[in-house]
């Protein structure tokens, strides 16, 4: 038996008992006549004491030779500590060691394995298994497990069945590149790793499974923007005989359940907003509604008043920044520089200070009267003490730029409190999205998403205006889930492939199996998938998903610990009938 207790559970009520513990040496304080050791395992830290007066010379000697991260097993008596540590649960006791067994030695770790560490990100990733011994990392993995359990509980109780789907499949159209796997047995042929189990979950509905879910890995070969992983986890769900409303209800319920069980907060209100409204009010399809600064269209108030910078523009749009009228010229210049950076790409910012005394001062006083500016204040909802910031230009671009500024200010002003949760459904996404590069429409969600019935005629005349039965669940400015009601008949699905520019052969080759299945009694169905990594991070009050993944990849998609991806040797390449062109 290695242990009678864990390192996190012994307290004064165990005083006088003999116990056995196993764990890692976190810290050693050696005074010669006494040696203290902090012994750590997953559950906590227990202090060990070796005392010259009460222990044999041999034991004292061996204790003196312990090093950091040695794995040891001890037997000893629980005694009351002289100087207690109220900060840890075992802080009132220590173990007077009578037997010490060194189970394994350790090289000196490359960084300190404590709450605070001196190890930088790269080093910690290279030795991730050591990093995982640290509380902040370990606790996040435990937290992730708890969220996963709650997801499973809720969905199982709602009659969902977890079904696994294959990883070695054919391309799935989620809008990214596929990772591919060569097939040794099928010369010259490749599997694709699923970007999501989309087609399989639809086939499960044809198979009569009715309510499916899976906590599942998905793979997308994308250029990694900040905080994305090439492999990530989804809570993937699908239901048969449902309308959009049924899906919204069930998954609103799941989110409410998680917020309650994990964070102890009751959220009754899940507001809804259309995509069009979200873009107009926040310039963003995943608005953070924990704070205001809603967009105000100032076309009427600001155009044709002699300021020709605005006159030619499609959109003049402003926000009121609360309490920011006191910004100095320097602070405002900094904001202007911020929006002019290439990442944002704006031409500049017009500002209006709505001073505490009610007066208005702006960067465009030459062109606008005080009454004009009052009109801007009214539209943006600015109050005395606020700063109005205005941008102008092409509608879509300007909204995106102002949205970035709004989020930046939300962060700067501390308006994005990680302990506050503001969910929001965004509905009625466009079905299609114009792609400049290929000069073609693409499915905004994926090609299996159904158009709104009343918009179907627009497919012929104005495809960009067709709305889909597609929805996203947004939490604190992050898209945490997205899905749609699907097409479930062959005719409409073929038509959709056609609109998306697939030839009949291409559609058949890629999705023939699905079209065939649709001819065997496919029920109406729809679903949703949640980004599990992101959801866990947000519930955990953090913005980075990497911390909640045991073995994440870096920004270049590399696992620096196992050093992957890597080259294949010649034999393996031959076996796979592959030749590397470099």
DSSP state of 344: T
| Least distance CB 284 / ligand ASP (angstroms) | 18
| 563 among annotated binding-site residues | no
Task: Tell me how many residues contact ligand ASP (CB under 6 A).
Answer: 9
Question: What's the closest the beta carbon of residue 197 comes to ligand ASP, in angstroms?
Answer: 7
**CB nearer to ligand ASP: pick between 424 and 528:** 528
CA distances to 148, 257, 307 from 265, in Å: 18, 9, 49
Instruction: Tell which positions 152-181 bind ligand ASP, by CB under 6 A.
Output: 174
Nearer to ligand ASP, 393 or 483 (CB): 483
What does DSSP assign to residue 391?
A: E
Q: Is 529 in the site for ligand ASP (CB under 6 A)?
A: yes
Q: Does 527 bind ligand ASP (CB under 6 A)?
A: yes
258 interacts with ligand ASP by CB under 6 A:
no
68 is an annotated ligand-binding site residue: no
Selected binder of ligand ASP within 196, 202, 398, 450 (CB under 6 A): 196
**Any long-range contacts for 499-505 (C-beta under 8 Å, 24+ apart)?**
499/432, 499/441, 499/459, 499/463, 500/432, 500/440, 500/441, 500/442, 500/443, 500/447, 501/440, 501/441
Check binding of 528 to ligand ASP (CB under 6 A): yes
d(CA 546, CA 137): 10
Smallest separation, CB 484 to ligand ASP (Å): 5
Residue nearer to ligand ASP on the CB measure, 55 or 198: 198
Token pair 């608005």: residue: 287
Q: Which of 322/423 has CB closer to ligand ASP?
A: 423
Is 419 assigned a ligand-binding role in the annotation? Answer: no
Residue 450 lies near ligand ASP (rule: CB under 6 A): no
46 binds ligand ASP (CB under 6 A): no
Distance of CA 543 to the CA centre of its chain: 7
479 is in an annotated binding site: yes
198 near ligand ASP, rule: CB under 6 A: yes
Using CA atoms, how far apart are residues 205 and 241, in angstroms rounded to an integer?
9
The span of 65-73, 320-328, 417-425, 525-533 binding ligand ASP (CB under 6 A) equals 525-533
- Cβ 237 to ligand ASP, closest distance in Å? 7
Give the residue with the Cβ less far from ligand ASP, 135 or 478: 478
State how far the alpha carbon of 335 is from the alpha carbons of 322, 412, 416, in Å: 15, 11, 19
451 or 483: CB nearest ligand ASP: 483
DSSP letter for each residue of 501-558: T--HHHHHHHHHHHHHHTTTTPPPEEEEEEEHHHHHHHHTT-S-SGGGSSS---TTS-
Q: What value, to the nearest 5°, has the Cα angle with vertex 328 and ends 327 and 329? A: 120
List the one residue from 23, 322, 483, 540 that touches ligand ASP (CB under 6 A): 483
Residue among 60 and 529 whose Cβ is closer to ligand ASP: 529
Tokens for 142?
């435990």
Candidates 9-17, 45-53, 479-487, 556-564; binding stretch for ligand ASP (CB under 6 A): 479-487
Phi, psi of 23 (to 5 degrees): 170, -160
**195 annotated as a binding-site residue:** no
Taking Cα atoms as reference points, which of 282, 314, 339 lies closest to residue 392?
A: 314
Spacing of C-alpha 485 from chain mean position = 24
- For the chain, the distance separating the N- and C-terminal CA atoms, rounded to the nearest angstrom, is 56
Q: Kindly tell me which of 130 and 480 has the beta carbon lying closer to ligand ASP.
A: 480
**Tokens, residue 207:** 């198979």
Annotated binding site, which residues? 174, 220-222, 229, 445, 479, 486, 531-534
By the criterion CB under 6 A, which residues form the site for ligand ASP?
174, 196, 198, 482-484, 527-529
Binding site residues for ATP, as ranges?
220-222, 229, 479, 531-534
């Amino acid at each position: 038996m290695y242990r009678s207790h864990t390192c996190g559970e012994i307290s004064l009520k165990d005083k006088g008992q003999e116990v056995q513990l196993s764990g890692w040496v976190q810290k050693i304080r050696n005074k010669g006549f006494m040696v203290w050791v902090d012994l750590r395992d997953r559950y906590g830290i227990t202090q060990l004491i070796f005392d010259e007066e009460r222990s044999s010379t041999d034991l004292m000697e061996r204790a003196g030779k312990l090093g950091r991260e040695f794995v040891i097993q001890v037997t000893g008596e629980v005694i009351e500590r002289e100087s207690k540590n109220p900060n840890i649960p075992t802080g009132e006791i220590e173990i007077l060691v009578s037997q010490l067994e060194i189970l394994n030695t350790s090289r000196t770790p490359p960084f300190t394995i404590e709450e605070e560490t001196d190890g930088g990100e790269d080093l910690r990733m290279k030795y991730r298994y050591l990093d995982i011994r640290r509380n902040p990392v370990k606790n996040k993995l435990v937290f992730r497990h708890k969220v996963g359990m709650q997801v499973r509980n809720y969905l199982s109780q709602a009659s969902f069945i977890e079904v696994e789907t294959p990883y070695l499949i054919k391309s799935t159209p989620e809008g990214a590149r596929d990772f591919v796997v060569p097939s040794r047995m099928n010369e010259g042929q490749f599997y694709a790793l699923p970007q999501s189990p989309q087609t399989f979950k639809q086939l499960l509905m044809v198979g009569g499974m009715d309510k499916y879910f899976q906590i599942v890995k998905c793979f997308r070969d994308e250029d990694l923007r900040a905080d994305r992983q090439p492999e990530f986890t989804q809570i993937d769900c699908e239901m048969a005989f449902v309308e959009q409303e049924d899906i919204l209800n069930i998954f609103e319920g799941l989110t409410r359940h998680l917020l309650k069980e994990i964070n102890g907060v009751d959220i009754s209100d899940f507001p809804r907003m259309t995509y069009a409204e979200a873009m107009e009010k926040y310039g963003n399809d995943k608005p953070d509604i924990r704070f205001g600064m809603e967009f105000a269209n100032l076309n009427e108030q600001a155009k044709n008043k002699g300021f020709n910078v605005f006159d030619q523009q499609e959109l003049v749009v402003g926000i009121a920044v609360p309490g920011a009228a006191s910004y100095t010229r320097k602070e405002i210049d900094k904001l202007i520089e911020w929006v002019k950076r290439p990442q944002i790409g704006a031409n500049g910012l017009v500002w209006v200070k709505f001073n505490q005394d009610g007066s208005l001062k702006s960067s465009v006083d030459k062109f606008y009267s005080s009454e004009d500016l009052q009109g801007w204040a009214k539209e943006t909802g600015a109050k005395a003490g606020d700063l109005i910031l205005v941008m102008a230009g092409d509608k879509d671009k300007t909204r995106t730029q102002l949205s970035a500024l709004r989020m930046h200010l939300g962060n700067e002003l501390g308006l994005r409190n990680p302990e506050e949760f503001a969910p929001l459904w965004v509905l009625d996404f466009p079905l299609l999205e114009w792609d400049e590069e290929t000069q073609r429409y693409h499915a905004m969600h994926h090609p299996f998403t159904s158009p709104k019935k009343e918009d179907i005629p627009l497919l012929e005349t104005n495809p960009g205006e067709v709305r889909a039965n597609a929805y996203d669940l947004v939490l604190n400015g992050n898209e945490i889930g997205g899905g749609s009601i699907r097409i479930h008949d062959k005719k409409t699905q073929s038509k959709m492939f056609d609109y998306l520019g697939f030839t009949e052969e291409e559609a058949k080759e890629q999705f023939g199996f699905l079209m065939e299945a649709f001819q065997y009694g496919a029920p109406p169905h729809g679903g949703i998938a949640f980004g599990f990594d992101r959801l866990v991070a947000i519930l955990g009050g953090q913005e980075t998903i990497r911390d909640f993944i045991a073995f994440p990849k870096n920004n270049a998609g590399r696992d620096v610990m196992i050093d992957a991806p890597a080259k294949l040797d010649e034999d393996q390449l031959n076996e796979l009938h592959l030749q590397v062109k470099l």
